[in-house]
C-alpha cells in the first residue's frame, strides 16, 4: 500500500514598504516571490498564483518571479510544485513593491516492499485505466484538470462532476467543502457527504491542500457502484452516498 506523508510547509514572509519620501506609482504595485527548498536551494518552475487578481506565473532558475500590477491591499499568494507541499501567504501591499519568501517542504512518499518490485508503471493509474475501460463511474484525466489550475479544487470538482457541490466552510472563510447533491434519505442528518480517498487511503483533510494540477486522475462513483474496497457503511451522523478517488502525479 502506498502511503503519503503530508509534511508541514514552513514559510517566511517579508514585506517591503517604500522609503520615506519615495513616490508611489499609480499603475499598481508588484509582488516579488522567491521560493526555495528546505535546503535553501532555489526552486525553478514553481507555479505562483494570485487568484483574486487572476495572475499566474512560474519562477525562474533563481527561484524568483514578479507579479503585477496589483492594487493596494491584501493579496493571497499561493505556490505549488510537484513533489512539494503547497504553501500560501497573505501579503499586504501598501507601497510599490512587496517581497515574500517561501520555503517548501518535500512530500515524502513511502512504498512498501510489494510495490517496489519490478515497478514499470504506476499500479494506481493502471487500476484507474482498467476501471475507466469498464465504463462505471466518472473519470477526469490530467489534461482536463490542467485547465482548472487557477481554481480551488473543491470548486473545480463541483463544476466538472455533476452530483457534487462546493459550499464555503462557515468556520474557515475562503475554504470550501464538498457535499453530494443527493439526499441522504435521513431527515435528521442533513446533507449527504462524499468519502474521499487519496492514493487509495481514506482522506479527511483539507482538499485545498491539493490543486487540480497536482492530480493525475480522479474517479467519482455512487457508493453502490464504487469498487468494493472503497465501499463502507455510513455512520448515522455523517452519511456518505458518493466516493471520490484522487490519484497524484508524483
Q: What is the CATH number of the domain that holds 214?
A: 2.170.130.10
pLDDT in tens, 217-229: 899 998 888 988 8
Same-domain pairing of 160 and 239: yes
The residue assigned the cell 487578481 is: 53
- 110 in a structural domain: no
pLDDT at 144: 83
Cβ-contact 218, 244 below 8 angstroms: yes
Same-domain pairing of 136 and 205: yes
pLDDT at 33: 95
Distance separating alpha carbons of residues 121 and 247, to the nearest angstrom: 14
- 109 in a structural domain: no
- 88 in a structural domain: yes
Same-domain pairing of 157 and 213: yes
Distance separating alpha carbons of residues 237 and 189, to the nearest angstrom: 6
**Total structural domains in the chain?**
2
Q: Domain range for residue 207?
A: 121-248
Flag residues of the chain having pLDDT under 50. 1-26, 116-121
Cβ-contact 45, 65 below 8 angstroms: no
Same-domain pairing of 76 and 177: no
Residue 53: give its domain's CATH number. Answer: 2.60.40.10
pLDDT at 177: 77
Same-domain pairing of 173 and 139: yes
CB neighbours of 16 closer than 8 A, spacing ≥ 6? 32, 95, 97, 98, 99
Last-in-domain residue among 50, 72, 104 = 104
Distance separating alpha carbons of residues 232 and 223, to the nearest angstrom: 8
Q: Is the peptide bond before 222 cis (omega within 30 degrees of 0)?
A: no
- The kind and range of the H/E element at 110 are strand 108-110
Amino acid at each position: 500500500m502506498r502511503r503519503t506523508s503530508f509534511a508541514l510547509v514552513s514559510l517566511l514572509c517579508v514585506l517591503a514598504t517604500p522609503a520615506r519620501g519615495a513616490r508611489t506609482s499609480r499603475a499598481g504595485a508588484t509582488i516579488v516571490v522567491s521560493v526555495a527548498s528546505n535546503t535553501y536551494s532555489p526552486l525553478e518552475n514553481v507555479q505562483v498564483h494570485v487568484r483574486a487578481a487572476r495572475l499566474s506565473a512560474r519562477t525562474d532558475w533563481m527561484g524568483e518571479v514578479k507579479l503585477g500590477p496589483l492594487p493596494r491591499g491584501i493579496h493571497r499568494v499561493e505556490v505549488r510544485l510537484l513533489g512539494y507541499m503547497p504553501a500560501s501567504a497573505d501579503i499586504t501591499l501598501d507601497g510599490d513593491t512587496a517581497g515574500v519568501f517561501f520555503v517548501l517542504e518535500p512530500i515524502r512518499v513511502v512504498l512498501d516492499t510489494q510495490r517496489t518490485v519490478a515497478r514499470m508503471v504506476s499500479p494506481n493509474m493502471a487500476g484507474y485505466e482498467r476501471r475507466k475501460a469498464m465504463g462505471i463511474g466518472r473519470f477526469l484525466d490530467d489534461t482536463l484538470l490542467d485547465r482548472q489550475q487557477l481554481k480551488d479544487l473543491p470548486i473545480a470538482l463541483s463544476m466538472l462532476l455533476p452530483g457534487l457541490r462546493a459550499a464555503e466552510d462557515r468556520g474557515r472563510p475562503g475554504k470550501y467543502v464538498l457535499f453530494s447533491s443527493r439526499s441522504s434519505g435521513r431527515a435528521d442528518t442533513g446533507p449527504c457527504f462524499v468519502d474521499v480517498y487519496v492514493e487509495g487511503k481514506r482522506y479527511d483533510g483539507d482538499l485545498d491542500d491539493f490543486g487540480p494540477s497536482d492530480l493525475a486522475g480522479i474517479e467519482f462513483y455512487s457508493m453502490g457502484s464504487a469498487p468494493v474496497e472503497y465501499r463502507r457503511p455510513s455512520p448515522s451522523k455523517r452519511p456518505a452516498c458518493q466516493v471520490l478517488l484522487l490519484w497524484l502525479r508524483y
